[in-house]
Homo-oligomer: A and B are copies of this chain.
């Protein structure tokens, strides 16, 4: 009862900024045969651009065996197919769900081991189901937070019109506020010390 596991709520701005104009600029390593547009491979930089991740991150994911280039160029350059995009974006989503890379690692491993599909599907469902629960809990918490913030802002807004002469340092608990009687926690916390 002592382990105070303290993982905080996941999520962030998680910049979904797509580089958009993906100028192929120079390299276009279409494989030997001919310009078959659907089989173009990309190198790590391109993948990085299109997923918003950094090259370093992609290298890391590879170390953790979360992705694997379909091939290497003559000079050891990693070459990725289109599914890599899916994979990386998928990883991103799992991260947004609050999974750590190591957790994702085990998910992937499990999938690959019992590749017999049915069992894997079940596993997958389990994971998603529990994550859905968590996500909903998180949503509840965030909504509460939103409410708190909203309330505190309302409270503070009444401050704004307060006579500047009287709010000196009694401000956080002056009697002006018509909005009720108890100071919101988020406001009270400032003074408490």
Kindly list chain B residues whose C-beta atoms are within 8 Å of the C-beta of A86: 185, 188-189, 192
**Does A72 belong to the interface (CB within 8 Å)?**
no
- Among A9-17, A23-31, A33-41, the one that faces the other chain is A9-17
Kindly list chain B residues whose C-beta atoms are within 8 Å of the C-beta of A156: 121, 124-125, 128
**Does A54 belong to the interface (CB within 8 Å)?**
yes
**Does A148 belong to the interface (CB within 8 Å)?**
yes
Give how many copies assemble into the complex: 2
Q: Which of B139, B141, B193 contacts A14 (CB 8 A)?
A: B141
Instruction: Contact check, A121 vs B167: say whether CB atoms are below 8 A apart.
Output: yes
User: A139-B146, A142-B138 in contact; A186/B128 too (CB < 8 A)?
Assistant: yes
Chain A residues with a Cβ under 8 A of chain B: 4-15, 52-54, 67-68, 83-87, 89-91, 93-98, 111, 115-118, 120-121, 124-125, 128-129, 131-132, 134-139, 141-143, 145-146, 148-150, 152-153, 156-157, 159-160, 164, 167-169, 171-172, 185-193
User: A118-B167, A168-B116 in contact; A12/B7 too (CB < 8 A)?
Assistant: yes
Taking A68-B193, A132-B146 as given, write out 19 further A-B residue pairs in contact, using a Cβ cutoff of 8 Å, ordered by the A residue number.
A8-B10, A8-B95, A11-B142, A84-B192, A86-B188, A90-B190, A111-B190, A116-B168, A116-B169, A118-B167, A121-B159, A125-B153, A125-B157, A128-B186, A129-B153, A132-B150, A135-B142, A136-B146, A139-B143
Instruction: Specify the main secondary structure of chain A where it touches its partner.
Output: helix
Residue in chain B with minimal CB distance to A97: B145
Q: Which of B83, B145, B167, B189 contacts A90 (CB 8 A)?
A: B189
Highest count of chain B CB atoms <10 Å: which of A137, A146, A150, A160: A146
User: A90-B185, A125-B156 in contact; A168/B8 too (CB < 8 A)?
Assistant: no
